[in-house]
Homo-oligomer: A and B are copies of this chain.
Amino acid sequence: MQQLNVELGERSYPIYIGSGLLGQPALFTDHIHGRQVCIVTDDTVAPLYLERLCATLKDYQLLKVVLPTGEAFKNWATLQQVFDALLLNRHDRKTTLIALGGGVIGDMTGFAAACYQRGVDFIQVPTTLLSQVDSSVGGKTGINHPAGKNMLGAFYQPQAVIIDTDSLKTLPAREISAGLAEIIKYGLIRDADFLSWLEVNMAALRCLDAALITEAINRSCSIKAEVVAADEREGGVRAILNLGHTFGHAIEAHQGYGQWLHGEAVGAGMVMALDLSRRLGRLNDTDFERGRSLIAAAGLPVSPPAEMTVEDFTELMSVDKKVLDGKLRLVLLRQMGQADVTADFPLESLNATLNAWRQ
């Protein structure tokens, strides 16, 4: 087992990464401070891992909440099921919520924990590659609003993140690719060496080579932990973690949440961000092609849906949380392995990028 720490003063917490962690009670009990535990999961993950986790936590007063699967249910109505169950079963302020599932379950359970009785403990047990390397770390929680993804939520840190790499074995290939999108992102924004390492090892990673995938998760979580420690509430540098996400969110919103996987939309979105970076002279053609090829090699789409117009993007991107004083801000690369957030780009260049896939 490997261990990292997210350094946030009194809100610091460990990330455990390894095989078989779901079956190790001590990892959980060290971070549970009451007698009541509520496991929140979805109807895809429940048949696979819920009973196993229940066995590990059998000494607690256990409540299980199984939500419908998918981004389409990431809303208040679904969250209400968690609150109803907690209140019906008299869970008090010392209860601990456990998010067992992918990013949607992690975001919703974290937000439920942030709101219930004004805040109770929670533990992230991410079961998808994407949530293991991204959403389970850093305390971003929330739900969608019809007008925009993750528009309602809280910065609320878990007590611990427990990553059992065995859970990847039941993951469809498409979900593995989606997770690789975020892993590639870390190389692009922060670590050129990691990017080269990914180019060498991409095929083996897609086959879930145990040592390599553990290493990739570890390096991804390390980068994320470092960025989050520097800027917990996204006042500055943390925004670079959104490379490709503004384009990607527009794609997800346009297609209807859950049609494209988040990682797929981020894959295509990152290619668009690389394209704009190239148009602005920040990257050369070789850099762009390296990035595009790596994203393609991960099995991800490298262009947006053919039917999306410039107007679709413009409209959907204008509600992005990075918009300030009416000005759209985007994460762009300065060079391979370095990114910044900027509103300093000509609208024509952005439009050229949005148009590039329309011909």
User: Nearest Cβ distance between residue A242 and chain B, in whole angstroms?
Assistant: 13
A35-B325 Cα distance, complex, nearest whole Å: 7
A115 x B145 contact (CB < 8 A) = no
Q: Per-residue CB proximity of A71-84 to B under 8 Å, as 1/0?
A: 00000100010011
**Which residues of chain B have C-beta atoms less than 8 A from A141's C-beta?**
118
**A34-B325, A87-B147, A145-B87 as given contacts; A154 in contact with B92, CB under 8 Å:** no
Closest partner residue, chain B, to A323 (CB atom): B92
Q: Give Cα A114–Cα B152 distance, bound, in whole angstroms.
A: 9
- Contact residue among B114, B145, B153, B319 (Cβ-Cβ distance under 8 Å from A90): B319
Given A35-B325, A94-B324, A325-B34, A87–B151 Cβ distance below 8 Å? yes
The interface centre, meaning the residue of A118, A145, A234, A324 with most chain B CB atoms within 10 A of its CB, is: A118
Contact indicator per residue, chain A 52-95, by CB within 8 Å of chain B (1) or not (0): 00000000000000000000000010001001100110101110
Q: A117 an interface residue at 8 Å Cβ cutoff?
A: yes
Is B90 within 8 A of A118, CB to CB?
A: no
Residue A345 interfacial (CB < 8 Å) = no
Asked whether, in the complex, the Cβ of A119 is within 8 Å of the Cβ of B154, the reply is yes
Residue contact A117 to B321, C-beta cutoff 8 Å: yes
Proximity string of chain A (86-111) to chain B, C-beta cutoff 8 Å, 1 when within and 0 when not: 01101011100000000000000000
A151-B318 contact, Cβ under 8 Å, with A34-B325, A90-B326, A93-B324: no
Contact A118 to B87, CB < 8 A, known contacts A34-B325, A321-B93: no
| Bound-complex Cα distance A286 to B209 (A) | 77
Instruction: Report the minimum CB–CB distance from A134 to chain B (whole Å).
Output: 16
18 CB contacts below 8 A, A to B, read A34-B324, A35-B325, A76-B76, A76-B80, A83-B152, A84-B147, A87-B148, A87-B151, A90-B318, A90-B323, A92-B323, A92-B324, A92-B325, A116-B151, A118-B153, A119-B154, A119-B155, A119-B233
Instruction: Name the distance in Å between A353's Cβ and chain B's nearest Cβ.
Output: 22
**A115 with B154: CB separation less than 8 A:** yes
CB neighbours (8 Å) of A152 from chain B are 83, 115-117
Q: Is A224 an interface residue (CB 8 A)?
A: no
Contact between A154 and B154, CB atoms less than 8 A apart: yes
A142 interfacial by beta-carbon distance below 8 Å: yes
Q: For A35, list chain B residues within 8 Å (CB).
A: 325
> A140 at the A/B interface (Cβ < 8 Å)?
yes
**Most B CB atoms within 10 A — which of A117, A151, A321, A325?**
A117
Q: How far is the CB of A186 from chain B (nearest CB, A)?
A: 22
